Chains A and B, each alone.
Chain A
């Protein structure tokens, strides 16, 4: 029977939590494949996806490659624990592989010690059987075209010769839930992706400043959030109207403090939303020194508005590295569409580069912060994006 054999890495290291992680992984796999004719099983510390229809083989592999926590996926055939059956299956598997002549080797692993042959014996005897069936082929133990792997497990044997890499990381959800500040730019979607990768369930918050930004820039944020559904089949996106707050800042605060106060207000809205949605951290796409406002002082002044931990997973990356991620994940072509996002209109020519928290607080005396926040949070529009399948 055809199946996908799934390996997961870091999970195995996590001691007593292992079971919990495995269950989360199973749950995520089931969600991601819910509309395909498959069955997901856990047997003796391995995950198997059984396919009831071969047509969906590639589709299932593609989707599994987006699930964090997987190290690799191997399309395999199962065989009863009888050496004659295994031999026959080996020939079938190789017949479906590449056209002969090819070089090969057999790599057996016998975790079921009840099986009468030892691994080297399996390699030898199975190799011989294959040579008899593929007269033009040769064994090459150093650099073979095909390595046929045979795993002898408790109930069945599994044969496979290729593996697709998984994304690594941890299953989404096991680390809790965080709120991503999602702009329309290149950075923030990558920060969200990295949060997902470390097992965080991510909800996103986008600030929309119509008419200072167009309806298209909101669509852009939606499209970016949609890309993340490849890594987590359901992504919640909150869209907060930010125009009133920006107008208030613009009318009541000194221009050079505008960006700092704006970011502080965004953090306050995010902080409120986090508590309402049971998120335990914020994620932003900030990194150090990319723009004048991303100085240590600026980051400190902005963070002072929340007690929540703020994750900035891009802090160690160069712009070019971020772009490479964006290209790999598929957010890049969306992010570079030229619609203005809300930062560009209200940005003064000379923003304060090293703003101080006490100064920001002083300036904010002119704002009716509780009312502004209430109005903003109450009018948040929430949409749930599902993986497109």
Chain B
């Protein structure tokens, strides 16, 4: 059976080269990167290679990259690390309702601890309303945290504009960008946008799970989440995950070599899928139009079709997609992102996310589009 993986916002398959590279690192460079002898130095070199690759693509210095266990930890370190470190200056934080659960729940926790959290408004396409941002920023504000690209609907936020507003109105506030979904999909250079903190994750660009990074601008003070040795500038102690970090570095090198082609390719596949389905089916887009959104995410609403059942029908044809958001699919509640766009529970239930990667092809998308149409035709019968 043909296998078409279209759930790349949840995670991407690893490049074979990354797997090979990691297993050779795992086998050869087993030394503790902190050790003084040759074995340690070899391992440290692998980490420095990855630090170099990553810093290059986001336009920062290698010394400003802190490796973590993934996007969730990076977001926690950025948000809670800022709130705790700067609480004497103020306890006001600003974010949006479209954040990933790792950010949202960090803010919820802080709210319970007495911090004041302001949420920016969003429109029906998921764009953050920036007018309110200026009013909300004050001397007490220590952090503004915004996801560059929403993982469910693919809306791109105007990071550069947000950076400017913060700089003008409250220069003391740190600016954190969750770039987990945007790395490699939308250009993002930290220094040009007044970004102080930026979260990324390896497994969204064909690297391994369990490895991520946080860019921390030189001179930015954070409270660490863990205490231990002095690895990663004391911000992320613990013996480094050498193979994971090296795999991240390798994935960045491979991906960014052909980034432009990949982005165009994904964007085309997305339009292709949308156009093919639009000809046959009644459907609506959740979030931005295919031209405006991120190149790799397409969230569609098929009225009267239960998304989860369509998902399983497609699974039976070898096509893998997502309903709601991957992190949510173990809970029956509708996704908070779709709800904040104004969708009711049934509409959220009827929504599915298709997400692409550099490895998908036209043939795959043609096959998927054909099967989606077939499955809906069949399922229509059984839905009231």
Contact = CB atoms under 8 A, between A and B. Distances in A.
B330 A211 contact: no
Interface in A210-253: 210-215, 247, 250-251
Nearest to B333: A338
B332 A338 contact: yes
Interface string B330-341: 111000000000
B313 A247 contact: no
A251 B312 contact: no
Nearest to B313: A211
Given A247-B382, A250-B381, A251-B381, A212 B331 contact: no
Contact of B312 (A214, A250, A337, A346): A214
B316 interface: yes
Given A338-B332, A345-B309, A211 B382 contact: no
B124 interface: no
- Kindly name the residue among B308, B310, B332 whose own CB sees the greatest number of chain A CB atoms within 10 A: B308
A340 interface: yes
The SS class assigned to the A binding surface is loop
A260 B312 CA distance: 26
A204 to B, nearest CB: 23
Contact of B315 (A211, A250, A251, A345): A211
B377 to A, nearest CB: 14
- Kindly name the residue among A211, A250, A338, A346 whose own CB sees the greatest number of chain B CB atoms within 10 A: A211
Interface residues of A, number: 14
A210 B311 CA distance: 11
A250 B380 CA distance: 12
Interface in B288-341: 306, 308-313, 315-316, 330-332
A250 B309 CA distance: 16
A210 B382 contact: no
Contacts of B313: 211
Interface residues of B, number: 14
A214 B330 contact: no
Given A338-B331, A340-B308, A211 B381 contact: no
A251 B378 CA distance: 12
A212 B310 CA distance: 8
A214 B320 CA distance: 13
B316 A211 contact: yes
B381 A210 contact: no
A210 B312 contact: yes
A210 B309 CA distance: 8
A346 to B, nearest CB: 8
A211 B331 contact: no
B312 A211 contact: yes
B330 A212 contact: no
Contacts of A211: 309-313, 315-316
A338 B324 CA distance: 15
Contacts of A210: 312, 316
Nearest to B382: A250
B382 A338 contact: no
Nearest to A214: B312
A212 B309 CA distance: 5
Contacts of A345: 306, 309, 382
Contacts of A337: 330
B56 to A, nearest CB: 41
B68 to A, nearest CB: 30
Contacts of A212: 309, 312, 382
Per CB-CB distance, the 6 closest pairs between chain A and chain B, nearest first, are A211-B312, A211-B313, A338-B332, A250-B382, A211-B316, A212-B309
9 contacts: A211-B310, A211-B312, A211-B316, A212-B312, A213-B312, A250-B381, A251-B381, A337-B330, A345-B382
Given A210-B312, A211-B313, 6 more contacts: A210-B316, A211-B311, A211-B315, A212-B312, A251-B381, A345-B309
Interface of A: 210-215, 247, 250-251, 337-338, 340, 345-346
